[in-house]
Amino acid sequence: MEGLGRVFNVIPIAAGVAVSLKRGVAVTFVCTGNDTFTLTCADTFGGSYATPGNIITRKVTNTATNGTAAWAEATQAASNAVTIASGAASIHVGADSLPDGKAFVKCSAGGSGLVMAILHDLTEQRTPANLPALSSAA
């Protein structure tokens, strides 16, 4: 079985898109562009999104977006946002790091930055054609 559906599901263009954590242990947002990327969360898909608190203290950065540079571990002051000047940043959000009852999370770009969402450690494995939509109330 291939990786999509077994260990991960993905939303290729996910800036400001609600991602359901109901079927995965965590989501990793891969962000590119000179921008600030901010996390918010909610109880329901169409709910009121607010800060999850200052849950980001670690990020992984890369000076290139084409695979020619290695990823580097980085820390930052606790926040619900990450700012990068260039390259890429990876932000891991575990379902257990969100406030109780919060099952939906968004990573929004302040400007023209790009975001990809990768839901991983799936709790249900399915063939890609049978995966549920990640950005839905289901």
Alpha-carbon dihedral sign for residues 71, 77, 78, 80: negative
User: Would you write out the chain's pLDDT as a tens digit for each of its 138 residues?
Assistant: 799 999 999 999 999 999 999 999 999 999 999 999 999 999 999 999 999 999 999 999 999 999 999 999 999 999 999 999 999 999 999 999 999 999 999 999 999 999 999 999 999 999 999 999 999 876
Sign of the Cα pseudo-torsion (128, 130, 135, 138, in order): negative
Distance CA 119, CA 74 (A): 22
Average pLDDT, the chain: 96
Q: Kindly list the domain boundaries of the chain, sorted by start residue.
A: 8-123
pLDDT of 137? 72
Looking at residue 15, the DSSP 8-state letter turns out to be B
Query: What is the model's pLDDT at position 138?
Result: 64
